[in-house]
């Protein structure tokens, strides 16, 4: 039996075992397999391992998407975690290449994937509070939100959870250094049914703007003159 003689359910099942690149390659062999590739039921789960993968055309976004994971564990993630004012020109150039990649992708998810149930972001150093807020507003069925090592996430995201995370059941904000204990306590108070996990977040040294550091130094000099 030729591959294309299999019924639709069998072809979908076969495609489900392939990675995104393999699905795309197989879809290019004939019209029928291209139609299988374009079936929304094939794309209820998406996993990405670097921002570069988000720019490829080997997947589809649509209302069928339920589970999304973007986890970047490369050593290069450390560059994105450096405070902007401390980066040298080489580091800034590296970050500029993909600074908006994840955020732009998540905006597409907001517009095209209203039935999202679970989102995991790890090592996404450029994702902001505003982006997560839009996701919570546009994906009202979101039940699981896991953020790990997302350095630009602050208590504003926690506040958005209390306002728009009505369906949320699980919230992880691990190793997010600009999350505070006050923000976590507010989530526990306002959303007692949400399972909250915040490994190290409120105990890490937060970022502070250079002008704030300068003000602290001046205040210290006034209190303890040399």
Q: Residue 3 belongs to what domain range? A: 1-42
Tokens at 189, concatenated:
């108070």
Are 75 and 13 part of one and the same domain? no
pLDDT at 157: 97
Are 93 and 135 part of one and the same domain? yes
Q: Which residues contact 11 (CB under 8 A, 6 or more apart)?
A: 3, 32, 33, 36
Please answer whether residues 53 and 32 qualify as being in contact, where contact means their C-beta atoms are separated by less than 8 angstroms. no
Are 69 and 131 part of one and the same domain? yes
Length of the chain: 226
Read off the CATH number of the domain in which 29 is found: 1.20.1280
Please answer whether residues 148 and 123 qualify as being in contact, where contact means their C-beta atoms are separated by less than 8 angstroms. yes
Read off the CATH number of the domain in which 54 is found: 3.80.10
| Closest to 183 measured CA to CA, from 202, 164, 205, 203 | 202
Q: Strands of 144-148's sheet, edge to edge? A: 45-48, 67-71, 118-122, 144-148, 170-174, 195-197
pLDDT less than 70: residues of the chain: 1, 74-87, 91-94, 96-97, 208-226
pLDDT at 204: 78
Are 80 and 5 part of one and the same domain? no
Number of compact structural domains in the chain: 2
Helices first, then strands: H and E counts in the chain:
10, 6
pLDDT at 73: 77
| Closest to 128 measured CA to CA, from 157, 101, 158, 152 | 152
3-state secondary structure of 154: strand
pLDDT at 80: 66
pLDDT at 88: 73
Are 37 and 51 part of one and the same domain? no
pTM metric for this prediction = 0.84
**What's the first-to-final CA gap in the chain, in angstroms?**
88
């Amino acid at each position: 039996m030729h591959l294309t003689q299999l019924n639709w359910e069998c072809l979908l099942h076969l495609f489900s075992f392939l990675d995104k690149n393999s699905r795309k390659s197989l879809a290019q062999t004939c019209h029928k397999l291209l139609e299988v590739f374009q079936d929304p039921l094939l794309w209820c789960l998406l996993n990405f391992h670097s921002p570069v993968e988000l720019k490829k055309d080997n997947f589809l976004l649509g209302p069928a998407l339920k589970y999304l994971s973007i986890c970047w564990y490369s050593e290069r993630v450390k560059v994105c975690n450096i405070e902007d004012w401390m980066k040298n020109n080489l580091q800034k150039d590296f970050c500029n290449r993909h600074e908006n990649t994840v955020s732009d992708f998540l905006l597409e998810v907001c517009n095209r994937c209203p039935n999202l149930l679970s989102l995991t972001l790890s090592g996404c150093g450029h994702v902001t509070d505003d982006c997560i807020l839009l996701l919570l507003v546009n994906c009202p069925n979101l039940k699981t939100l896991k953020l790990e090592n997302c350095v630009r996430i602050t208590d504003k995201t926690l506040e958005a959870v209390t306002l728009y995370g009505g369906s949320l059941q699980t919230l992880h904000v691990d190793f997010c250094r600009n999350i505070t204990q006050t923000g976590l306590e507010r989530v526990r108070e306002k959303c007692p049914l949400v399972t909250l996990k915040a490994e190290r977040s409120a105990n890490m040294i937060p970022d502070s703007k250079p002008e704030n550091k300068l003000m602290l130094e001046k205040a210290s000099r006034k209190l303890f003159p040399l």
